[in-house]
Structure 1
Amino acid sequence: MRTRPCRHGGTTPCAARDDRPGAGGAPQAGMIPLDRTAPRLAIQRQRPILSMPPHPARAAYFLDFDGCLVALARQPDAVVVPVGLVALLNRLHRRAGGALALVSGRAIADLVGMLPGLVVPMIGSHGAERLWRRGRVERLDIDRTVLDRAIERVTDVARTAPGFLVEVKPVAVGLHYRADPSLAEKAGHAMSGIAEDAPGFHLHPSKQLIELRPDGVGKGQAVAALLTEPPFRGRKPVVFGDDLTDEPAFALANRRGGVSVKVGSGRTAARHRLADPSRVRQVLSTWGRA
């Protein structure tokens, strides 16, 4: 078991069957109760990514980090940030008049440490943290006692198998099993029990990760909030992401006439798809020069 505390504080869409755990009735034994605000992953007629970029004065860019701008790694701190990524994001940020933000599940401190010199706004911990103007991190107030108790229990679970990894965030805790995907069912059972004793928090599954996070926190809410503030206000959202956690933001972009881009395989509400992070960087680089 390894525990990782927070160091700083064209593709054919799949059928529209809703086979999320617990959908259509009570959760099955061992299944994870999902956030009921998550959108259905409906059939979308996906199109090639736009050959012409959105107009920079009308677009608001919201970009995931892991699996979107950088390739996933077996452990969160093992990702490799490509040379030139910070310069690319800063250039597109300037071209968009400041209307570009990272929207990540990572803690803000992790993002800052991995992306020195990046000047764009950052949403961390799925919306529970925000690095905005003046360089100050705003953080959601939570019941610290509840979270600390949950962290202890998740750590105890992780000790039962070497393939588990605990990720402690400022306002959340996650149990990774990327090193041993066969632990998925065990992780689901354990985290479901922990969530039952964590009022004010809910579970959200991600890629080989189950996270306990505060109620009302999600990327969809985070993007919606940013769209009420300058320089994002009045613009069309352009959302890139690779994970279930990005689906509410995709749905929001679709409703508002924006652009939604799924990175990688899997069912999605997004209307465009790119194969991998290298292709994302290529597209963004083209848009930044257009």
Structure 2
Amino acid sequence: MPQLPLIESNTALFLDFDGTLADLAPRPELVQVEPELVGTLHTLFERLDGALAVISGRPISELDHFLQPLRLPAAGVHGAEFRTDGGMVSKTSAAPGLELLIPHLEALVRAHPALRLERKSVAVAIHYRQAPELAGVVDAAVTEVLRHAVGLEALPGKMVVEIKPAGVDKGDAIAAFMKSAPFAERMPLFAGDDLTDEPGFAAVRKLGGLGVLVGQRETVASVTVPGPAALRSWLHRSARALEGAGGHPRAVPNEAEPGPARRTTTS
């Protein structure tokens, strides 16, 4: 594959969080963010005139917690949550049948205590990172509970299976960002590590941009890096290069100074 070029000033930058910006942890709440990373994201947001968004399976509130004090544009829960420029978070409505599935999934976790059930705003995930031998059990259980569900679908990931609203994914979220300023008419670049990031890679490729896989596996991404540390090093180098190029930086939304509220829906 070709080498990964440094980020240029005309880039629209999209970044996954877990396994990309931050190393994976045994449980989602144990993830650690490299101290220098927040400053680098701050610089990149400024130098790209706001054209930087985090595209994650996590809810946006969790992204804000890990990246505080930043409140970056973001798509959470694989695009079911959406926020532009520090504004209000808009959400895809939860499928009415989601709550009906929870007791069945809770029973599964009680039967296999090594599993972890994670409730999200409009989705639910079953993690089996601490018991990889239970992958088949989890897949079978999710298939069964979704047998008669409407408006929901399974999304497999790294040691996790999520049940989320049907018809939303990271590719749709990126496409939505690219329709308006400051992202429009820029070259999109998306970095991610999981199978759940493949729709994002396909979306930027369709728009003439670049997908960056963090790790090694079959992918539609154009470029790979070995792991999150290499991805962060590339971000740091790019931020320093853009800072050295000068220009008039844009202020970064944060909790003390929220940006304008702009509601955007995803399809």
Query: Of 120, 124, 134, which aligns to 1:173?
Result: 124
C-alpha distance 92-213 of structure 1, shift in aligned 2 (>3 A): same
| Paired residues of 2:64 and 2:71 also in contact (CA < 8 A) | no
SS in 2 for 1:126: helix
Q: What is the CA-CA distance between 1:65 and the residue it aligns to? A: 0.2
Q: What is the CA-CA distance between 1:256 and the residue it aligns to? A: 2.0
Matched, 1:137 2:92: no
| Paired residues of 2:73 and 2:86 also in contact (CA < 8 A) | no
For residues 178-203 of structure 1, the C-alpha deviation after alignment (integer angstroms, 9 at most, x for no partner) is 00100000000000011113210001
Q: What is the CA-CA distance between 1:125 and the residue it aligns to? A: 0.3
Residue of structure 2 equivalent to 1:95: 47
For residues 24-76 of structure 1, the C-alpha deviation after alignment (integer angstroms, 9 at most, x for no partner) is xxxxxxxxxxxxxxxxxxxxxx22212xx2431x2100000000000001111
Hey, what's the Cα distance between the residues in 1 that align with 2:176 and 2:170?
A: 10
Hey, what's the Cα distance between the residues in 2 that align with 1:240 and 1:96?
A: 16
Residue of structure 2 equivalent to 1:224: 175
Q: Give ranges in structure 1 of 5+ residues lacking alignment.
A: 1-45
The one-letter code sitting in structure 2 at the alignment partner of 1:55 is E
* Amino-acid identity (%): 38
> In the comparison of the two structures, how many residue pairs are matched?
241
Q: What is the CA-CA distance between 1:236 and the residue it aligns to? A: 1.3
The one-letter code sitting in structure 1 at the alignment partner of 2:97 is V
Length-normalised TM-score, structure 1: 0.81
Residue of structure 2 equivalent to 1:60: 12
The one-letter code sitting in structure 2 at the alignment partner of 1:47 is P
Query: Of 228, 234, 238, which aligns to 1:283?
Result: 234
Hey, what's the Cα distance between the residues in 1 that align with 2:200 and 2:124?
A: 22
Q: Give ranges in structure 2 of 5+ residues lacking alignment.
A: 242-267
Query: Of 44, 47, 69, which aligns to 2:21?
Result: 69
Matched, 1:79 2:31: yes
Length-normalised TM-score, structure 2: 0.87
| Paired residues of 1:202 and 1:215 also in contact (CA < 8 A) | yes
Q: What is the CA-CA distance between 1:134 and the residue it aligns to? A: 5.1
Q: What is the CA-CA distance between 1:260 and the residue it aligns to? A: 0.9
Q: What do you get for the CA RMSD once the two structures are aligned?
A: 1.2
Query: Of 97, 107, 113, which aligns to 2:65?
Result: 113
Hey, what's the Cα distance between the residues in 2 that align with 1:222 and 1:128?
A: 8
SS in 2 for 1:262: strand
Hey, what's the Cα distance between the residues in 2 that align with 1:264 and 1:109?
A: 27
Q: What is the CA-CA distance between 1:131 and the residue it aligns to? A: 2.5
Which contiguous aligned blocks of 4+ residues in structure 1 show a shift greater than 2 angstroms? 131-135
